[in-house]
Copies of this chain bind each other. A is one copy, B any other.
Amino acid sequence: MLVSTKGRYALRVMVDLAEHQATGRIPLKEIAARQGISEKYLENILATLVRANMLSGMRGKGGGYVLTRPPEQYTVGEILRLTEGSLAPVACLDGDCKGCSRSDECPTLDVWKNLDKLINDYLDGVTLDQLVAPNEGYDYVI
């Protein structure tokens, strides 16, 4: 699996926060309930996002999380790379196998490189605002 629950949850949470931007800071409890994710597990994920300055968290009464940038300035790729560690489709491209002794002669390496670029380019081309449902979270009355 290229993307595990951690990455998937992170993305859903970011969309959730984008949709509820207008409400100000949103406590973890609320996000967890809305998204059906365990509160404790979500803590880990949010901590990662905060440490990377993608979210700002504030403690205490009235605290919670908000995006640090407008939704159109987040790409799906960066969110997933952060939470997953890497989006490389094969270990060969990912630290571990760096300089696999066979890489010079490997007939399949180009396939992996192309695939990697395809995946990253696509995910870097999708921004958070594109995933926000139109008017979701706003109660416009005409």
Binding site for B on A (CB under 8 A): 1-3, 5, 8, 11-12, 15, 36, 76, 88-92, 94, 102, 106-108, 111-112, 114-115, 118-119, 122-123, 126, 131-133
Contacts and interface: CB of A to CB of B under 8 A. Distances in A.
**A11, A90, A107, A112 — which one has the most chain B CB atoms within 10 A of its CB?**
A107
Nearest to A3: B90
B2 A89 contact: yes
Contact of A107 (B36, B90, B106, B131): B131
Contacts of A111: 11, 76, 123, 126, 131
Nearest to A106: B12
Contacts of A118: 118-119, 122
Contacts of A114: 122
Contacts of A108: 8, 11-12, 15, 131
A90 B12 contact: no
Contacts of A90: 1-3, 8
